[in-house]
Structure 1
């Protein structure tokens, strides 16, 4: 009885490990002019650096199929002034 219970518990524990979703690191894809973007929902946009000039930012978004992507593109930094 104890062996059967022990076997059942160990089998349940090992199956729960397989049921957990694997965490996959998503790499940022650099934007190229003309790239088709399928953006259904923006999740996050990193802030621009405090410099006066082009600086990279990253946008994390979900596409129309629910997949998450990271797009890297350049913006003018927030350190420029007009005076």
Structure 2
């Protein structure tokens, strides 16, 4: 699970570094959908939703603080934790 979470956060950080356009700030309660190349100004991760124990892609949300201290929530998909073989 930690590997998946770190991979997802790595992708988000890489996308932040590669993106050159600024996003408009959504209302504080609204989650925005992430897409590859979307600029995310992540200074601190506040919370992350639980990844279910299923074997298919699932939506998750991460709330983060930007460099201005504003909180944003981004929604994206990750693979569930139920695919681990034994």
Q: Highest CA radius of gyration, 1 or 2?
A: 1
Give the distance between the partners of 1:26 and 1:63, measured in 2 at CA: 15
Q: TM-score, normalised by structure 1?
A: 0.67
* Pairing 1:33–2:36 present: yes
1:45 maps to 48
- Aligned-residue Cα RMSD (Å) equals 1.4
Task: Name segments (4+ residues, structure 1) moved above 4 Å.
Answer: none
Q: TM-score, normalised by structure 2?
A: 0.64
Gaps of 5+ in 2: 1-26
Residues 19-39 of structure 1: per-residue CA shift (max 9 Å, x gap): xxxxx7511101011001100
Which of the residues 66, 76, 83 maps onto 2:69? 66
Gaps of 5+ in 1: 1-23
